[in-house]
């Protein structure tokens, strides 16, 4: 299972990122733990200065851009 956190203030882009990850995981049949992180101190602890940010298994993999979500599958 992948542990994924969406870092953001709850803005439209943050909500859209959360929804896209949720939908992609469902479509690919990938089991994930998905969490919203909205506390600014927590967000800044990842070195993120602009949101949304995406953290997978403790590693920042994306911030402030629309990423393709594939979960490593074709």
Residue 73 confidence (pLDDT) above 60: no
Instruction: Choose the catalytic residue: 4, 14, 37, 54.
Output: 14
- State CA 55 to chain mean position distance: 6
Which tokens sit at 35? Answer: 């969490």
What's the pLDDT score for residue 48? 86
Residue 14 a catalytic site member: yes
Q: What would the pLDDT profile of 15-70 be if each residue is shown by its tens digit?
A: 999 999 999 999 999 999 999 999 999 999 999 888 999 999 999 998 665 555 55
What's the pLDDT score for residue 72? 59
The model's pTM is 0.83
What's the pLDDT score for residue 46? 94
Instruction: Choose the catalytic residue: 9, 11, 27, 49.
Output: 11
Residue 23 to residue 48: CA distance in whole angstroms: 24
Which domains occur in the chain, in start order? Answer: 2-63 (3.40.30.10)
Residue 8 confidence (pLDDT) above 90: yes
């Amino acid at each position: 299972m992948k542990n994924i956190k969406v870092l953001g203030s709850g803005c439209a882009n943050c909500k859209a990122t959360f929804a896209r990850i949720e939908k992609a995981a469902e479509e690919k049949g990938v089991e994930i733990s998905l969490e919203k992180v909205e506390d600014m101190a927590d967000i800044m602890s990842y070195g993120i200065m602009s949101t949304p940010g995406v953290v997978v298994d403790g590693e920042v993999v994306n911030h402030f851009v629309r990423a393709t979500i594939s979960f490593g599958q074709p």
